[in-house]
């Protein structure tokens, strides 16, 4: 007898897809927890969110878009771009649906 009794292959495939999503959620949560723990321990939550290559995470004040800019771009656009701290970035990652599963940003924190 198989795991699903007489269930069809599509039921099995659906189950496997659901398990893949659950695993992705667990992995993403673990990355978030590790990033927050590291930033909290090192006292860097209130520091500017800077990528390993020197880009600065910002939020567009007009449309709410989050992105990475250079320091010169930030200086030119201080009226529309808000630089984010590591804590801001973690908040956006956790509460902004558009940032869900954007685990690469956790490398910044």
Would you say residue 77 has pLDDT above 80?
yes
- pLDDT of the residue at 88: 92
pTM over 0.75: no
Give the whole-angstrom CA distance, residue 54 versus residue 24.
28
For the stretch 20-73, pLDDT in tens is: 776 676 666 777 677 777 877 887 888 999 998 999 999 999 999 999 999 999
Cα–Cα distance, 91 to 5 (Å, whole number): 44
**pLDDT at 101 > cutoff 70:** no
> What does the domain layout of the chain look like in residue ranges?
9-107
């Amino acid at each position: 007898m198989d795991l699903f009794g007489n269930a069809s292959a599509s039921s099995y495939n659906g189950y496997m897809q659901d398990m893949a999503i659950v695993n992705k959620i667990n992995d993403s949560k673990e990355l978030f927890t590790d990033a927050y723990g590291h930033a909290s321990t090192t006292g860097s939550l209130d520091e500017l969110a800077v990528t390993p290559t020197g880009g600065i995470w910002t939020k567009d004040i007009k449309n709410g878009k989050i992105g990475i800019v250079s320091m010169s771009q930030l200086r030119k656009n201080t009226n529309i771009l808000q630089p984010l701290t590591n804590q801001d970035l973690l908040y956006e990652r956790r509460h902004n649906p558009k940032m869900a599963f954007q685990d690469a940003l956790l490398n910044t924190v």
